Amino acid sequence: MSYAAPTQNSLTGIPMVDTYLSGFSVISMFFSQYLHMDISAYISLVFLLATVVATVRLRVETVMEKFRGYFTSTIEVRMDDEVFSYLMFWISRQRFSQKSTRVVASTRTNSGYYYYSDDSDEDSDDSDDDEGDMVSASNDFDSYWEKRVGKDKLKPLRITPAEGTHNFRFRNYRITFRREREEKRQFGWGSPPEKLYISCFGRNPDILKDLLLEAQKMYVDRDGDRTIIYRGQRNSDACFDWTRCMARSPRPLSTVVLDEGQKSAFISDIKEYLHPYTRRWYSNRGIPYRRGYMLHGPPGTGKSSLCFAAAGTMHLKIYLISLNSKTLTEDALATLFQSLPRRCIVLLEDVDAAGVANKRSNSTTPSTGTNSTSTEASASAEQKNTSTPAPESPSDGDKTENTDSSANQGVSLSALLNIIDGVASSEGRILVMTTNHIEKLDPALLRPGRVDMTVAFGYSDRETLKDLFLAIYAPLACEIKSTSAISRAAAVREQENGKLSLLKGHAGRRTPSTSSNISQTFSVQSSSEEEIRQMAEEFADRIPSGEFTPAEIQGFLLLHKKSPQNAIEEASMWVQQTRDNKAQQQTNGD
Ligand SMILES: Nc1ncnc2c1ncn2[C@@H]1O[C@H](COP(=O)(O)OP(=O)(O)OP(=O)(O)O)[C@@H](O)[C@H]1O
């Protein structure tokens, strides 16, 4: 065998090849020194082979892809949609997820994009209402709390299949689940966004749609009758979108203390608006199917509470926007309004925010004190308080007239007016706006069509004071039932413990009775409803009417939640103290 020393020519190309095939120069050196072979002579052949293999692989993949595309049905689910949360929630509860050998363990299954992290605890084992917990907390709170805190530290783990392809069966169909990461797009600070694919064999995707419907149902059923709240906020792509932020137990309407007439007018109006007949009525007459309410009054008088209670009563979701948000632009607000579902409550808080409060002309409604405005507003509310849809104003010139610059002032009045009832504005929603300063608002915002009913909230009058007292102290049927059930359970346990200690011959020291502990913890006192009503009158005698907000009164009563008698005795002192504090704050403010 003759040895051909590597020629200058063949070796000069090696460093360049090294950039493509790292280590090639070392291997080439090894071959030439020990085996006396110049492998650089084969470079072109290697490249040719590699190209052929790559081309064949690409062809095969393309053919396979086409084959798959033709003979399978696939649904793609993107992370920026709520369906992602449905599917992941459902998948995490399937047996194949638990058995898979490649999984992702996390404390939540939602996308983190569409779904706010607070919500991740929603389906955790929250047994705060559990009667067993109440018994043990009444027996020995410290050890109950230690256990509770220990449990809370351990967040339930959600196991979902890792990236890649997984197969499982759904209603006897073989389904392929694929999870992919979009490495090219970074998702805020977190990991890149993901895409999910579910596929089945055949050209009929119905089974996949059924799967998604089941996933949606499982996800939605978990909410029960809770009120779901979405918030309009910026996502990591810097776009505004609705983010589900919490699910709250519905607030009974009866817990909102407000003049019964006003309360029932508000609810009846919403019910009538949601009636299918009304929808047709609006459409037949060419009137945009929208309804707006303005709730106004000082802070802490129950505006948000009424809105939440109404949403709970009507099983509607709340879409919350705060006009005070520094990052909310007019475009963002318009986008949020365009992506509202058909039936929902949009809660627009603080409509007296900077840009909106700038009236079209300074000569409009002069600014007055809160109390007098409240009365005026109530009067105007009465005028507008009609379930008949108000006619659209003939001219919408008010939308375009606004000359105020919105730069750095948030959403301007003209933009808000356009968004609320512009041509592109969605239909079917219920708009509830709240403000502490109705006197600052331009009449254009309050005109029928934009605001169809106004509800005025004010400081607590005598009736409100009594109702708030009753709301805290009157025995509730559900609590009486559960307290007596707990007491019965505790009594049985006590009896069993007693028998046990007798059997063991422990006559010893007796611990205080559990059932008496519970009644001490839960029952305010053994006052009858009539007596509580009597006390409510006494309480109302001691608090001046029209001076304090319901929130302030509720705060005071909560300090004495176990003793209405104490609340009555300390009421006058609290009034004096609160007045002094307010005066002090005012002096500091000046
Ligand atoms: N009319 C009311 N009936 C029952 N509870 C009330 C009432 N007003 C206030 N509260 C209680 O006071 C607290 C604050 O009430 P809420 O948030 O509804 O007030 P608000 O008028 O919306 O205040 P803000 O203008 O500051 O948003 C809540 O805990 C609520 O239960």
What ranges do the domains of the chain cover? 8-69, 74-126+155-222, 231-456, 462-589
**How many other C-beta atoms are found inside a 10 Å radius of the C-beta of residue 305?**
20
> Cα–Cα distance between 497 and 578 in angstroms, integer?
50
Inter-residue contact 196 to 77 (CB < 8 Å)? yes
Q: Is 132 in the pocket of ligand 1 (CB under 6 A)?
A: no
DSSP 8-state class, residue 108: -
Tell me the CA–centroid distance for residue 589 and ligand 1, in Å.
Answer: 24
Token reading at 283? 């459409």
Inter-residue contact 236 to 113 (CB < 8 Å)? yes
Residue 297 CB-half CA count within 13 A: 24
Buried b (16+ CB within 10 A) or exposed e, 61-85: eeeeeeeeeeeebebebebbebbbb
* Farthest-apart Cα atoms in the chain, separation: 120
Tell me the CA–centroid distance for residue 257 and ligand 1, in Å.
Answer: 9
Atom of ligand 1 nearest to the CA of 297: 21
Secondary structure (DSSP) of 304-332: HHHHHHHHHHHT--EEEEETT-TT--HHH
Inter-residue contact 47 to 20 (CB < 8 Å)? no
Provide the ipTM. Answer: 0.98
pTM equals: 0.70
Query: 469: Cβ–Cβ under 8 A, 6 or more apart, which residues?
Result: 532, 535, 536, 539, 540, 557, 564, 567
> Cα–Cα distance between 402 and 424 in angstroms, integer?
19
Tell me the CA–centroid distance for residue 421 and ligand 1, in Å.
Answer: 28
Contacts 24+ apart (CB under 8 A), 540-543: 540/462, 540/465, 540/466, 540/469, 542/568, 542/571, 542/572, 542/575, 543/460, 543/465, 543/571, 543/575
Secondary structure (DSSP) of 480-501: HHHHHHHHHHHHHHHHHHHHHH
Q: Is 449 in the pocket of ligand 1 (CB under 6 A)?
A: no
pLDDT along the chain (590 residues), means of 10: 48 64 79 82 83 91 84 91 90 89 78 44 47 76 88 83 93 94 63 88 94 95 90 77 87 92 95 94 91 95 96 95 84 88 90 67 38 35 36 37 46 86 77 93 89 95 94 75 57 58 46 49 63 93 95 95 92 95 84
Q: Is 97 in the pocket of ligand 1 (CB under 6 A)?
A: no
Token reading at 86? 């449905």
Q: Is 299 in the pocket of ligand 1 (CB under 6 A)?
A: yes
Pocket test for ligand 1, best of 301, 435, 460 (most atoms within 8 A of CB): 301
Atom of ligand 1 nearest to the CA of 555: 12
Q: Is 256 in the pocket of ligand 1 (CB under 6 A)?
A: yes
Which amino acid residue places its CA nearest to atom 24 of ligand 1? 299
Residue given tokens 């600014």 in the structure block: 367
Which amino acid residue places its CA nearest to atom 18 of ligand 1? 302
- Give the pLDDT confidence score for residue 370 in this predicted structure: 32
Tell me the CA–centroid distance for residue 542 and ligand 1, in Å.
Answer: 22
Q: Is 416 in the pocket of ligand 1 (CB under 6 A)?
A: no
Which amino acid residue places its CA nearest to atom 17 of ligand 1? 304
Burial of 139 (0-12, 13-18, 19+ CB in 10 A): middle
Pocket test for ligand 1, best of 554, 556, 558 (most atoms within 8 A of CB): 554
Pocket test for ligand 1, best of 305, 318, 374, 549 (most atoms within 8 A of CB): 305
Atom of ligand 1 nearest to the CA of 258: 1
> Cα–Cα distance between 184 and 490 in angstroms, integer?
60
Q: Is 300 in the pocket of ligand 1 (CB under 6 A)?
A: yes
Amino acid at 128: D
Q: Is 390 in the pocket of ligand 1 (CB under 6 A)?
A: no
Tell me the CA–centroid distance for residue 457 and ligand 1, in Å.
Answer: 10
Q: Is 262 in the pocket of ligand 1 (CB under 6 A)?
A: no
- Give the pLDDT confidence score for residue 12 in this predicted structure: 55
Measuring CA to CA, which residue among 273, 271, 296 is closest to residue 348?
A: 296
Atom of ligand 1 nearest to the CA of 434: 25
Q: What is the CATH number of domain 231-456?
A: 3.40.50.300
Atom of ligand 1 nearest to the CA of 255: 4
Q: Is 515 in the pocket of ligand 1 (CB under 6 A)?
A: no
Tell me the CA–centroid distance for residue 372 and ligand 1, in Å.
Answer: 21
Which amino acid residue places its CA nearest to atom 8 of ligand 1? 302
Q: Is 435 in the pocket of ligand 1 (CB under 6 A)?
A: no
Q: Is 302 in the pocket of ligand 1 (CB under 6 A)?
A: yes
